[in-house]
Structure 1
Amino acid sequence: MVVELHASVLTTNGSAASGPPDARFPYWSFTKTIIAICAMKLMQAGRLDLDATLPDQSFSMWELLRHDARLPDYGQLPDYHRAVAGGGLPWTAQDMLDRVATALPARTDGWTYSNIGYMFARDHLQHCADEVFGDMVQRLICRPLGLKTVRLATAQQDFAGLHWPEAANYNPAWVYHGCLIGNAAEAARILHALMSGELLAPSLTRKMLDALPVGGALQGRPWQSCGYGLGLMIGRMQGAGLAIGHTGGGPFSTNAIYHFPDMPNAPTVATFIHGTDEGAAEYQAVRLATGLR
């Protein structure tokens, strides 16, 4: 099967891209990586304590950012996926939480990937910074790096200009922690800047890389071992060694944005494909990274 691929590769020796440079995409769960970067920036500024329990909660930002707060996920609700596919108005955050509370246990056993946890994390960041998340991203990441395409989608019309036609029918309010949009090159640029030390002090980057092991090989995907740091999927991918970044996906597109420090010139690769196969996006990232040898 031919995959429509849009990609950007950054290395210490330069960059390469496929697909039109003006094409824009949803970043989906790569937004989690950016939430975590913002958290570390606020910590660096003395405005956030990662280890403190959030007001009126039983978990800390550290636990939220590692998906270690034992929270359920609205992605487990069949009604959620039916509602998204039906094109209706998104539920309010409280309605979503009420539906989850009715259908799922309040606490999970062990590590559980939770979009709800990242909604709480985003909300706490906004409280600590006294600033909405979209403005925070511009101030802390986009302007320092000179990024021009990255912004927070807040309404359905923000998706209307994205690359794949189905985007026009999607309301980003269904992503409760927020969904950033932008081109492939700037997604790669953000992760590359994180890993090269442009965005954070080395001690804070090391905190983000403190991964909790969460499993072994995944069928249909290149992962041989899996872990999760702060907003980062971290493990080993077949043929490419250590992989650090995030995969994301929604109803019509998928992305894989990863840094491969074991590869020559330590490439950072961002791939965006049509469809919902996360493994396909990840294998394309591996292919591009290993093709540089």
Structure 2
Amino acid sequence: MTTRRTILKSGAVTAFVAAGGTALAPVPAAASGPGPDRDALQEAVARLGANGASGILAEVRDRDWIWRGSAGVAELGGTRPVQPQGRFRVGSVTKSFVATVALQLVAERRLRLDDPVERYLPGVVPGGGRITVRHLLQHTSGLFDYTDALLAEATVEDLVRMRYRSWAPRELLAYSWGEAPLFEPGAGWSYSNTNYILVGLLIERVTGRPYGSEVTRRIIRPLGLHQTEVPGHDPDIAGPHAHGYLPLERDGGVVPVDITRYEPSIAWAAGEMLSSAADLNRFYGALVRGRLLPAPLLAQMQATTGPESYGLGLLSLTLPSGATLWGHTGGIFGYETFAMGTADGRRQLTFSVNPWGPSEPDDSLLQLLTLAFDGTAAGVARGTAVQRLPKLGHF
């Protein structure tokens, strides 16, 4: 999408402590096998969380070892720590699952990447004869992002009021059809959740089953992702989880509003899924190692375009060391996720943050990435550009 926000907003912790909360405290890390400096990883996680969040959890997974850590509290005002094995809303990380299913259907010759959308969804998409399946998957369709129209003027109070509303995919698409396309198909790049609502519909049209059923049947069950689900209209997060919050301005200050329970159909195939750090690391490791797609299609998935190096449901990020990472980021009310790993599938990092409040970016994310993938934070320059996550409310 054209407007992005940084992973965290510093200053939120100050507002929280002033409101009577408890500052972030590190949780003892769990680890097995050899690996990087665990104390340094824990310090980096705590620092990232302390820069504007109520809690954070993380897992670094290597073929030979696993490290898990967390900081903060599961619920503001309480003392229960964030559990590193907890579940969370993953936002746009959902797109990697959806894109993988679509590409599996391409492998089965039930979809073709360069076919027009009109062939599969006749009459659904304005200009659908010129927009291909590939355009949708790589955000080059030019279609206006429905969330930019639906949530452009939304306040925190509005989001709280609509938290239990159920949405149908075509209701969401109507917000996009009311806006002019941003460019001709293939002539530019712009992140648009509209694209993945349509990919979800494509999967349902081709298979005759709900897209979530296909994600479950093709990915979740075969990989044993026991903490991952497509929740549909269920607003709850079962099992251990940290609460999510939105910042509400009140009496000249900022207070947190608990938004943990939320009907996720507003995000549908663009960002509704739930998972854990362990499951996401397992998924992305399996994906880049070729367990889910034939090599030619994985190569197409990793052929990037646009300012954010976006492939077909995958983001690419290059660290200052030159290491290239593959995965996705995600943001949905109260939760922000970063899930990426090395191109050979040997090592992955996933973390989930519960942010709220205004802030400025710093180098905490890059410190964590450098420790996780290079084994040291030495030489990381302050202010170095790092991956951005979607702005509040945009998956």
- Structure-1-length-normalised TM-score: 0.84
Q: Which amino acid aligns with 1:273?
A: V
Aligned mate of 2:373, from 260, 272, 290: 290
Whether 1:125 and 2:203 are equivalent positions in the alignment is yes
CA contact (8 A) 1:84 1:174 kept: no
Q: CA deviation at 1:47?
A: 1.7
Whether 1:197 and 2:329 are equivalent positions in the alignment is no
* Structure 2: gaps (5+ residues): 1-12, 14-46, 50-54, 71-82, 123-127, 244-257, 377-395
Assess, with a 3 A threshold, how the Cα gap between structure 1 residues 207 and 288 changes in structure 2: closer, same or farther.
same
Q: How does 1:72-91 map to 2 (within 5 A)?
A: 72-77=144-149, 78-79=151-152, 81-82=154-155, 83-88=158-163, 89-91=165-167
**For residue 221 of structure 1, what is the aligned residue in structure 2?**
none
Give SS of 2:350's match.
strand
Q: CA deviation at 1:120?
A: 0.3
Q: CA deviation at 1:9?
A: 1.8
Whether 1:105 and 2:169 are equivalent positions in the alignment is no
Deviates more, 1:70-79 or 1:226-235: 70-79
Whether 1:39 and 2:102 are equivalent positions in the alignment is yes
Larger Rg: 2
1: CA distance between counterparts of 2:282 and 2:361?
A: 22
Q: Which amino acid aligns with 1:180?
A: M
Identical-residue share of aligned pairs (%): 25
Q: Which amino acid aligns with 2:351?
A: T
Aligned mate of 1:174, from 258, 266, 279: 266
Assess, with a 3 A threshold, how the Cα gap between structure 1 residues 161 and 80 changes in structure 2: closer, same or farther.
farther
Query: How far does the alpha carbon of each residue in 1:179-222 deviate from its partner, in whole angstroms, 9 at most, with x for none?
Result: 1112110011100101112222222211110111x22xxxxxxx
Aligned mate of 1:14, from 65, 73, 97: 65
Assess, with a 3 A threshold, how the Cα gap between structure 1 residues 86 and 34 changes in structure 2: closer, same or farther.
same
1: CA distance between counterparts of 2:259 and 2:279?
A: 19
Give the count of matched residue pairs: 279
**For residue 115 of structure 1, what is the aligned residue in structure 2?**
193
2: CA distance between counterparts of 1:273 and 1:7?
A: 9
Assess, with a 3 A threshold, how the Cα gap between structure 1 residues 37 and 284 changes in structure 2: closer, same or farther.
farther
Aligned mate of 1:211, from 295, 300, 304: 304
Whether 1:233 and 2:305 are equivalent positions in the alignment is no
Assess, with a 3 A threshold, how the Cα gap between structure 1 residues 134 and 91 changes in structure 2: closer, same or farther.
closer
Give SS of 2:309's match.
strand
Assess, with a 3 A threshold, how the Cα gap between structure 1 residues 185 and 81 changes in structure 2: closer, same or farther.
farther
1: CA distance between counterparts of 2:322 and 2:337?
A: 17
2: CA distance between counterparts of 1:282 and 1:50?
A: 35
Q: How does 1:220-259 map to 2 (within 5 A)?
A: 226-239=308-321, 241-259=323-341
Q: CA deviation at 1:54?
A: 1.7
**For residue 272 of structure 1, what is the aligned residue in structure 2?**
352
1: CA distance between counterparts of 2:367 and 2:234?
A: 29
**For residue 5 of structure 1, what is the aligned residue in structure 2?**
56
CA contact (8 A) 1:116 1:176 kept: no
* Structure 1: gaps (5+ residues): 216-225
CA contact (8 A) 1:240 1:290 kept: no
Give SS of 1:194's match.
helix
Query: How far does the alpha carbon of each residue in 1:5-38 deviate from its partner, in whole angstroms, 9 at most, with x for none?
Result: 2112222323222243541111110100011111
Assess, with a 3 A threshold, how the Cα gap between structure 1 residues 121 and 282 changes in structure 2: closer, same or farther.
farther
**For residue 188 of structure 1, what is the aligned residue in structure 2?**
281
Q: CA deviation at 1:101?
A: 3.4
Assess, with a 3 A threshold, how the Cα gap between structure 1 residues 197 and 240 changes in structure 2: closer, same or farther.
same
1: CA distance between counterparts of 2:241 and 2:367?
A: 19
Q: CA RMSD, aligned part only?
A: 2.7
Query: How far does the alpha carbon of each residue in 1:157-180 deviate from its partner, in whole angstroms, 9 at most, with x for none?
Result: 333656233353321011032511
CA contact (8 A) 2:160 2:259 kept: no
Give SS of 1:286's match.
helix
2: CA distance between counterparts of 1:288 and 1:135?
A: 37
Greater share of helix residues, 1 or 2? 1
CA contact (8 A) 1:269 1:288 kept: no
Q: CA deviation at 1:91?
A: 4.8
2: CA distance between counterparts of 1:90 and 1:207?
A: 35
**For residue 155 of structure 1, what is the aligned residue in structure 2?**
233
CA contact (8 A) 1:22 1:183 kept: yes
Q: Which amino acid aligns with 1:73?
A: D
- Structure-2-length-normalised TM-score: 0.64
CA contact (8 A) 1:74 1:116 kept: yes
